[in-house]
Structure 1
Amino acid sequence: MAHTAGRTAPRGKGKLAALAALGTRPGGRRHPLVAAAMVLPLAVVLGFVTGWGRMVATQASSVAGMLGS
């Protein structure tokens, strides 16, 4: 008979394990949108720390100038 029950967090691992299991698929892989939501905040912070924010602002300003805004 096929196993049809959903996955649950292992007992004893607590809230952290349940949070880590959030967005996982039955095969153990995470949904792409969940993975993106986890990675993007860190990427933005690292980007601003390394000067990415200033570069984007400069490029946006140049494009706005060419468009006549």
Structure 2
Amino acid sequence: MAHTAGRTTPRGQGRLAAVAALGTRPGGRRHPLVAAAIVLPAALLLGLVSGWVQVVMTQASSVAGMLGS
């Protein structure tokens, strides 16, 4: 499927556009590590707010206890 919508270039749009373009490749795609660095803090914050981090930590300690650590 071909892209028909054009992308705007960050030139002439100021610092915010330059920061948003950080880590992008010439084709307009972001490097996977840059994308992970953007998403992981937001996912961790969401996990802390919703409480699933405590569930994961409980499961991890149970597995560590079964392994004898």
TM-score category, normalised to shorter length: 0.7 to 0.9
* Matched length: 61
Structure 1 consecutive aligned stretches of length 4 or more whose deviation exceeds 3 Å: none
**Same amino acid, percent of matched pairs:** 74
Q: Does 1:53 align with 2:62?
A: no
Distance 2:21 2:29 in 1: 10
Q: Letter of the aligned partner of 1:28 in structure 2? A: G
TM-score (norm 1): 0.80
- Which residue number in structure 1 is paired with residue 44 of structure 2? 44
**Considering only aligned residues, what root-mean-square deviation do their CA atoms show, in Å?**
1.4
Gaps of 5+ in 2: 1-8
Query: Bigger radius of gyration, 1 or 2?
Result: 1
Q: Distance in 2 between matches of 1:33 and 1:64?
A: 29
Q: Which whole-Å CA distance do the structure 2 matches of 1:44 and 1:18 have between them?
A: 26
Which residue is 1:65 aligned to?
65
Letter in 2 for 1:10: R
SS at match of 1:54: helix
Q: Distance in 1 between matches of 2:55 and 2:14?
A: 43
2-structure distance, mates of 1:36, 1:27: 19
What SS does the aligned partner of 2:63 have? Answer: helix
TM-score norm. by structure 2 comes to 0.80
